């Protein structure tokens, strides 16, 4: 279903024009308006889901297949040196548009972007406590 006031619903379904790289029954892939690097793209499902929690499993699986197609394309056409898939859920995690989207970000040597995190430290005991918290 589409959500009335959702900009990515409108873009995904072609009501607002976008620089489309790929389209099928389930998805539209567009260029990000504020690209981190050349070729930064967004994979948008045509059906509204606010985030990964709401996304149907079938759509989640299909999104990764589209991501793989796009990664291949970026490598072939843009000759990127690397590529990040980024997917933010919730304001705390940096989500600004509340319609699920998967970022495909081609990376180039010395592109000046910092998409990785600062590694922390942990003990085996701490890891075990977290493992238990998640799985039990
Ligand atoms: P988020 O921070 O929610 O993971 O990512 C939202 C992304 O959508 C941002 O990278 C932003 O540049 C992009 N964006 C926001 N509005 C528009 C728009 O109207 N058109 C396009 N093509 N990208 C948009
Ligand atoms: Zn939407």
Pick the catalytic residue from 40, 48, 99, 101: 101
Average pLDDT over every residue of 83-98: 98
Confidence band, pLDDT 50/70/90 cuts, at residue 116: confident
Atom of ligand 1 nearest to the CA of 88: 4
Q: CB atoms < 10 A from the CB of 49, how many?
A: 18
Residues 57, 52: Cα–Cα separation, whole Å: 9
- Computed over every residue of the chain, the mean pLDDT equals 97
Q: Which pLDDT belongs to residue 1?
A: 67
Surrounding residues of ion ligand 2, Cβ less than 5 A: 3, 6, 8-9, 48, 99
Average pLDDT over every residue of 12-39: 98
Average pLDDT over every residue of 88-114: 97
Q: Which pLDDT belongs to residue 93?
A: 97
Q: Which pLDDT belongs to residue 107?
A: 98
Q: Where are the alpha helices (DSSP H) in the chain?
A: 7-12, 57-73, 124-135
Task: Tell whether the torsion through CA atoms of 34, 73, 8 and 55 is positive or negative.
Answer: negative
Residues 16, 45: Cα–Cα separation, whole Å: 15
7 C-beta closer than 6 A to ligand 1: yes
pLDDT, tens digit (0-9, with 9 covering 90-100), for 4-23: 899 999 999 999 999 999 99
What pTM was computed for the model? 0.96
Q: Residue with the nearest Cα to atom 4 of ligand 1?
A: 95
């Amino acid at each position: 279903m589409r959500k009335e006031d959702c900009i990515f619903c409108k873009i995904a379904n072609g009501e607002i024009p976008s620089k489309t790289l790929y389209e099928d029954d389930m998805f539209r892939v567009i260029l990000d308006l504020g690209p981190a690097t050349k070729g930064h793209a967004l994979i948008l499902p045509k059906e509204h889901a606010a985030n990964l929690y709401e996304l149907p499993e079938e759509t989640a699986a299909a999104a990764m297949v589209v991501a793989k197609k796009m990664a291949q394309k970026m490598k072939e056409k843009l000759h990127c040196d690397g590529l990040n898939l980024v997917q933010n859920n919730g304001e705390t995690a940096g989500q600004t548009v509340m319609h699920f989207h998967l970022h495909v970000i081609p990376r180039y040597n010395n592109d000046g972007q910092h998409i990785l995190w600062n590694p922390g430290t942990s003990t085996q005991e701490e890891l075990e406590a977290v493992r238990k918290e998640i799985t039990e």
